[in-house]
Structure 1
């Protein structure tokens, strides 16, 4: 299950690119700056959210001439299950509205959040290598992206929670009517409790998958969800009401899922991931990504995007990575500057040479 017949128009440095006859393993090979990661980014936008780079829409579109307005871009793909096309999904912008993203599923308008109901999307990129030393907010976004694999409605809940908390903050600052405050806090508690429960469930299920994986050659991480407030809706609502004076002074809500944290330690030593070596951190990230891939592949097409991962692994870990990916249900897309690191899977992979925003299929003998 995965993507086939992928088309890009005016996306980044790709004027018009088509990839067909995809496989379980799909390799994008080319020099740095050729447009390999741009292709992965385009695929990531076939799921909800802002994609693997979290870029502004206006920065995604190609410009005919530098300095000109961005051209409308479009990304489309067929979803296949058991060799049969089950749906056609796409995302695009229109001329004159570069900041508005639109989505279609089977030619009908849809919401970006609804894409999670059709396709589970996961990725690992070099930019994520600093996840364990980054802010708690970065790890919350990491949890939320993974949570869509088990709760497609999660993105809507997160957005609704953020909106309610912003409105609450404005009311606190202005000294608004307590009855309005009660109503806003009821919304925040409703969405906040749902967000917290989904994150907690995600971490629990990831921990179960990780416990079933061998501890070597990828370091096994131990995950703990640290809630920023009560998980129960009634308790969260009461806590928000009680904390009004404190939150007014702070200028933000100090209780709730917006304060959640994902704690990661090396299971064998209990050492915090942030204090581990860069190699150990990378190994733990890969282990989490593989465990999430198992969850994501349950019940709908699943795609895993791996940007420049294989080249940075030693032969033992690379072999084990390919073995686990081969046994998984997710369609895999990987990038690299050369084919050598992929020798073990090249005969079973679809391969494209990427150059200057164009692609050429490599036909294997």
Structure 2
């Protein structure tokens, strides 16, 4: 018999709201046709939450659902139709999927809903977003309400993979501090794709290119400036270290980033417009846009070893990644008055006991809501009495 969802702290989202807590916490999560969950209702407390269970039962799916409460494609960067629940051998469900959550925020109770629905054009799909029952124009509005950052096993290669992965990781950190950043990234990338398509088609209409390159200049410099501000502030925080986790130094590396270090943003916009206009033929021949913030990189250095993060061992790279995430969570808590939602997938498996204890102490001290997953409940024993421990089986959740 399948156990029903449980209420970890006998909390009812329909109860009187009382004073608004100075936290960001999911108090109820509801899933419909999401990955392996046909229907799920999970009532939560505001404390850290540990999801334990065997591989493949849906722990990461829950974190992915939570990641859709923030702008972007979620922690797996999946296509919208890939998220639909499906039985073995079946195509994705035609009805789409939905994630709904009731959150406590410093501004009071908030309801967020998002999911897949039919687009305006026949045969198209779109991601819908509703805030307190009202439709939002775009998913970027989520960043005004929810800051979410995640670490997954796939990110263990962050310092070894190409710069695109590091930019995506950084942009999540930036959006947590600058909610409008997600909109700037989306606008820039859309104009970048349109310009590349026109170049590939041999279009030479200067009016189209002027309009697209103006969009790229405005949003590109805005997103580069937000990155620069975040990296500057995060560098100061990461240099302090967190307990036994290593100290880190961070810096932006890129042409536009160099401009912003030496000139005003308006002058950097003019220069980017000029570079894009002058390089149309070159970009058409090479099939790539040679100048812009899409070519920037995040440089990370392990200060305790005095070497680039990529040259450290696998364990050292994992430790420095956790150190950066914790420093960022502290920075968000100070800047926005609330810690972000931290989604930490299989976080304890490759940390030694000292670092596990330090991680658990830090997430409790942050005062926000952190979600962690693991296959071995014993690794989370130091959190006894300080976290909600839930057991995940295929499509259901019970008290561990």
What TM bracket, shorter-length normalisation? over 0.9
- Counterpart-to-counterpart distance in 2, 1:194 and 1:311: 39
Preserved CA contact (<8 Å) 2:50 2:389? yes
Equivalent of residue 20 in structure 1, options 43, 62, 65 = 43
Task: Say if 1:314 and 1:69 are closer, same or farther in 2 by CA, change over 3 A.
Answer: closer
Equivalent of residue 294 in structure 1, options 320, 330, 347 = 330
Preserved CA contact (<8 Å) 2:167 2:296? yes
Preserved CA contact (<8 Å) 1:27 1:351? yes
Preserved CA contact (<8 Å) 1:48 1:116? yes
Alignment deviations for residues 145-198 of structure 1 (CA, whole Å, 9 cap, x no partner): 111111111111112112222333344442513343333222211111111111
Q: Does 1:121 align with 2:148?
A: yes
Aligned to 2:283: 247
Query: Which is worse superposed, 39-48 or 218-227?
Result: 218-227
Preserved CA contact (<8 Å) 2:82 2:92? no
Aligned to 2:301: 265
Aligned to 2:356: 318
Shift of residue 85 of structure 1? 4.9
Map of 1:24-43 to 2, 5 A cutoff? Answer: 24-43=47-66
Q: Quote the RMSD (CA, aligned, Å).
A: 2.0
Task: Say if 1:194 and 1:347 are closer, same or farther in 2 by CA, change over 3 A.
Answer: same
Alignment deviations for residues 324-344 of structure 1 (CA, whole Å, 9 cap, x no partner): 111113310011112211111
Shift of residue 50 of structure 1? 0.7
Q: Does 1:205 align with 2:208?
A: no
Query: Which is worse superposed, 93-102 or 51-60?
Result: 93-102
Task: Say if 1:124 and 1:256 are closer, same or farther in 2 by CA, change over 3 A.
Answer: same
Shift of residue 94 of structure 1? 3.4
- Counterpart-to-counterpart distance in 2, 1:74 and 1:179: 41
- Counterpart-to-counterpart distance in 2, 1:61 and 1:86: 28
Aligned to 1:102: 128
Q: TM-score, normalised by structure 2?
A: 0.85
Map of 1:283-362 to 2, 5 A cutoff? Answer: 283-297=319-333, 298-300=336-338, 302-362=340-400
Q: Does 1:196 align with 2:224?
A: yes
Give SS of 1:33's match.
Answer: coil
Q: Does 1:8 align with 2:31?
A: yes
- Counterpart-to-counterpart distance in 2, 1:90 and 1:11: 13
Task: Say if 1:43 and 1:98 are closer, same or farther in 2 by CA, change over 3 A.
Answer: farther
Aligned to 1:275: 311
Preserved CA contact (<8 Å) 2:118 2:125? no
Q: Does 1:220 align with 2:244?
A: no
- Counterpart-to-counterpart distance in 2, 1:179 and 1:312: 54
- Counterpart-to-counterpart distance in 2, 1:302 and 1:24: 13
Shift of residue 300 of structure 1? 4.7
Preserved CA contact (<8 Å) 1:80 1:301? no
- The alignment of Structure 1 onto Structure 2 pairs a total of residues equal to 360
Query: Which residues of structure 2 form unaligned runs of 5+?
Result: 1-22, 261-267
Moved over 3 A (4+): 94-99, 170-173
Equivalent of residue 109 in structure 2, options 78, 86, 104 = 86
Shift of residue 141 of structure 1? 0.7
Query: Which residues of structure 1 form unaligned runs of 5+?
Result: none
Preserved CA contact (<8 Å) 1:294 1:329? no
- Counterpart-to-counterpart distance in 2, 1:98 and 1:66: 23
